[in-house]
Amino acid sequence: MKIAPFPTKLLAIAGAFIALWLALAVFSYTSPVVYLHYSAAATAPVTYFFNEDNDIVKDQIEPGARLEFRTAHRPHAGYFINVSLPAASRDGVDIAPPFSRVDVYIGADTKITRTVVRTDFLARFGSD
């Protein structure tokens, strides 16, 4: 039985690590996505709540900004997403599967002006 030299083993381990890392990156990049778009005409940031299945993110979005939220690949039966602006206009939108990409547009008056839901897989990779 011949034992492989150390550099060969090291390269095999490094190759396996890189392959695993690439697989995880692709898996993450292909998950469904929700985008928040805030009008560039707005004058101040707005506070939003992004509630993904009771995992709540509270933050601010600046005028003209676009935020990206990657969501679950295989959501369970009661899975939901809620985007709301409680401090500004009390507007909100509920999102339920199936979806591939959701664009939520917030106007300069801090009201949700429209929501676009796309279900085709390739919409996750598109841009506005």
32: pLDDT confidence band, cut at 50, 70 and 90?
very high
Is 72 in contact with 32 (CB distance < 8 Å)?
Answer: yes
Residue 127 pLDDT: 64
CATH number, domain with residue 74: 2.60.40.4150
Task: Count structural domains, the chain.
Answer: 2
pLDDT in tens, 60-100: 999 999 999 999 988 999 999 999 999 888 899 999 999 99
Of the candidates 60, 114, 52, the residue with the CA atom closest to the CA atom of residue 83: 52
Tell me the C-alpha distance between 113 and 122, whole Å.
24
Mean pLDDT value of segment 50-67: 95
The whole domain housing 10 covers 1-30
* Host H or E run for residue 114: strand 112-118
Cα 55 to Cα 3, 40, 68, 82, 117: the distances in Å are 50, 28, 16, 10, 21
The answer to pTM > 0.85 is no
Residue 3 pLDDT: 65
